[in-house]
Structure 1
Amino acid sequence: MRAQKQAATKYSPFLLMFGWHPRTPIEMEEEDETLEETANIKEEAIFESDADMDRMVANRDTFMTRVDQQVQQNVLEAQAKQQEQFAKQKSKGVKVFQFSIGDLVLQKVMKNVGRKGGKLDALWTDPDRIVDIDDHQRIALEYPAEDWATLKGEGAI
């Protein structure tokens, strides 16, 4: 039985599905011992006329409408909170750099990262000029002519 309140909705799934709080077997035993006669009288009194039944259905409908509106609001608040926490976690430890066209930048040489030896190799390339920045903050660099000759000789192009 899904009787535990959910964090996002603030209601139990049982209440949202059936419109009332579930009664556990322990609660039912306690009611049987103390209120057996009054419970039977109340159940008989509720269904004496069709008007009473219609009123009970209307009350249940308005209750469920209010609960549904409150659940929608609670879910939106929970989603906003989760998005805020995600954005905070995502931005944690991220360095942001502001580049503009024409700036000189260095590129890190990544082939040195997992390679044995090569401790004396350069960690950074010579400065390159930024030629273009697109909508996704990707940068196009202008390589000097000697770099193009080196790349052609290695078969990279």
Structure 2
Amino acid sequence: MRTQIQKSTGFTPYQLMFGRQHRPIEQEFEVNEELELEVEEAGLAPPEDNVDTSCTFEDYVHLPTTEEVSLFVQKQEQKRQQLHIKRDEKVELAQQKQKAEYNRRKQKGVKSYALEVGMQVLQGNLRNTSRKGGKMEPKWTGPYKILDIDSSQRVTLEAVKNGRKLSRRVPYNQLRPYLRSKLHDAGPVAGLEHQDMSYLYSFIYPLQTGCWIGTPGHVDCT
């Protein structure tokens, strides 16, 4: 039975369907025991050694009439409709909260990516946060190639390194594009023999004074 309260609706699926809360199995046994005790105290239960086989079930239990059943069904339907109205109100509030949270994260600079089949991506390493010592592990694993994206925004991935297809689909929000630096593809710089790090940085970073370091020992200010 679906008897867990849903966060967005505030009700259980069972309650929304039947207009009432489910009755736990232990209460069923308690009700039966109480009913048997009431029947015995009222003297309605026949002695076990002298059972009157001519008595029917209706002689011991009052069955509701057709009108009573119809009235009960109408009341339950009214309760169910009222629950649905409250459900819609709570769902709308939940959607507003989710929208506000999304806008707040967007303003803080939380990025969202448009992923497509064939792109290379990195997958968030959940072990980084879910296990002891996981913070020492890399935050992202990969790269992987996107093979398919289903209607539920779950992605089928294939490892770029060995072509192995992952056994499970990965949620869209656990992925980010894999951007490979051009420095990895450019190869060694022609004629670069000096291993001083300051010389390597001279090709990339300007000095705060506006000067560039050219060859070792030479500074050009413009």
Contact 1:6–1:12 (8 Å) recurs in 2: yes
Distance 1:81 1:30 in 2: 42
Which whole-Å deviations, capped at 9, do the CAs of 1:5-54 have from their partners, x for residues lacking one?
Answer: 1111111011112222112212212222234567999xx65622x32222
Tell me how large the CA RMSD over aligned residues is.
3.5
Contact 1:46–1:52 (8 Å) recurs in 2: no
Residue in 2 that maps onto 1:34: 34
1:64 equivalenced with 2:80 (yes/no)? yes
Using the TM superposition, give the Cα deviation of residue 111 of structure 1 relative to its aligned residue in structure 2, in angstroms. 4.8
Overall identity of the aligned pairs, in %: 25
Contact 1:112–1:121 (8 Å) recurs in 2: no
Q: 1:72 to 1:10 in 2, by over 3 A?
A: same
Which whole-Å deviations, capped at 9, do the CAs of 1:75-111 have from their partners, x for residues lacking one?
Answer: 11111111111221222246xxxxxxxxxxxxxxx75
Given candidates 113, 116, 119, the residue that maps to 2:201 is: 119
Structure 2 unmatched runs, 5+: 40-56, 111-180, 189-196, 207-222
Q: 1:37 to 1:10 in 2, by over 3 A?
A: farther
Residue in 2 that maps onto 1:88: 104
Distance 1:114 1:34 in 2: 81
Distance 2:63 2:75 in 1: 13
State how 1:2-151 maps to structure 2 within 5 Å: 2-36=2-36, 45=62, 47-48=64-65, 50-93=66-109, 111=182, 118-123=200-205
Contact 1:3–1:22 (8 Å) recurs in 2: yes
Q: Normalization by structure 1: what TM-score?
A: 0.53
Count of aligned positions:
106
Contact 2:8–2:94 (8 Å) recurs in 1: yes
Q: Which has the higher strand share?
A: 2
Using the TM superposition, give the Cα deviation of residue 74 of structure 1 relative to its aligned residue in structure 2, in angstroms. 0.7
Structure 1 unmatched runs, 5+: 95-109, 125-157
Contact 2:19–2:83 (8 Å) recurs in 1: no
Q: Which has the higher helix share?
A: 1
